[in-house]
Amino acid sequence: MTSPSETARSRRVPLPSAPNMRDLGGLPVSGGVVRTGVVFRSASLADLADEDQRALADLGIATVYDMRTAQEQAKKPDELPVSALLVPLDVLADDQGDASIGAAIMSGHTREVADLLEEGGAAAIIGKSYRKFIRLRSAHTAYEAFFRGLANPSRRGAALFHCATGKDRTGWAAVCLLRILGAEDDVILDDYLQTNADLMPTIQPVLDKAEADGVDPELVLPILTVHERNLAVADDEVKRVFGSFDAYLSEGLGLKDSTLEALRERFVE
């Protein structure tokens, strides 16, 4: 039997300019496994080198869903192969304040936001963001369009979805997709937490810069990594607002059973 760590290594797509990229294929779900080579997740593709653009094209990635804010996209647009269609999905369009804090930290401006991170502030900021994923109308619209796009029978080729670091907006999208496909909770959590290992080469310099600026890296770490408690916050908000995950899909995102079944037919083998 393949171990979770072996499965994680086999799903990584090691492109130097596309951090935190991996195939969701191979993960066990109800009735089989996720089909390989059809849906990928990553961090921003704004700095994608020419050779990595060719690698994306070679992977057959024809549609890219960008879940960053409009401001993030305008400031650093994706660099994609000409064969790829870009679909902008601004999850936080209705309330993007927390995204700007993360962007400041990733840009090396940790000292400017250090006061907000004191005494559990970082975990509180991330928790607030996950509640927004469930509550904001813009999040409903973005995630609905994402799942409808994935299920659309006229869409050809593989799909990739991402945000800035590929961990929160992207992470929740991956959690929802894997739940729709019938993955068990431990499988979903393993993929979610894999980001911490895959993203570390990118965030370590940010932690080093924070320390050099006199900011405790432990204050910053919760903003730059993912934790099981984030999903607990999201699930609590789902129950509070909708009562159940199924109701969140149907009432919040407006997804019909036919769309969910189309996703399963397309992505499970």
Residue boundaries of the structural domains of the chain? 4-264
Distance, CA of 166 to CA of 269 (rounded, Å): 25
Q: What is the pTM of this model?
A: 0.92
Specify the pairing of strand 61-66 against strand 85-88.
parallel
At 2 the pLDDT is: 54
pLDDT at res. 183: 98
Residue 124 is predicted with a pLDDT of: 84
- CA–CA gap between residue 73 and residue 67 (Å, rounded): 9
pLDDT score, position 254: 98
N-to-C CA span, the chain: 18
Cα(87)–Cα(85) distance, integer angstroms: 6
Percent of the chain as helix, strand, coil, to the nearest 5: 60, 10, 30
Fold type of domain 4-264: Protein-Tyrosine Phosphatase; Chain A (3.90.190)
For residue 41, give the 3-state DSSP assignment.
strand
Q: Identify the pLDDT of residue 202.
A: 87
Q: pLDDT at position 83, please? A: 92
pLDDT at 189: 97
pLDDT tens series, the chain, 269 aa: 455 555 556 899 999 999 999 999 999 999 999 999 999 999 999 999 999 999 999 999 999 999 999 999 999 999 999 999 999 999 999 986 666 666 666 666 666 666 666 656 778 888 999 999 999 999 999 999 999 999 999 999 999 999 999 999 999 999 999 999 999 999 999 999 999 999 988 888 888 888 888 888 888 888 889 999 999 999 999 999 999 999 999 999 999 999 999 999 999 99
pLDDT score, position 102: 66
pLDDT of res. 216: 83
Contacts of 99 (CB under 8 A, 6+ apart): 68, 69, 72, 92, 129, 164
The predicted pLDDT at position 35 comes to 97
Cα–Cα dist 210/85, whole Å: 37
Q: How far is CA 39 from CA 3, 7, 25, in A?
A: 21, 16, 7
Which pLDDT score is estimated for 166? 95
Q: Which two tokens stand for residue 33?
A: 């496994």
Q: What is the pLDDT of residue 122?
A: 77
pLDDT at res. 106: 66
pLDDT score, position 223: 83
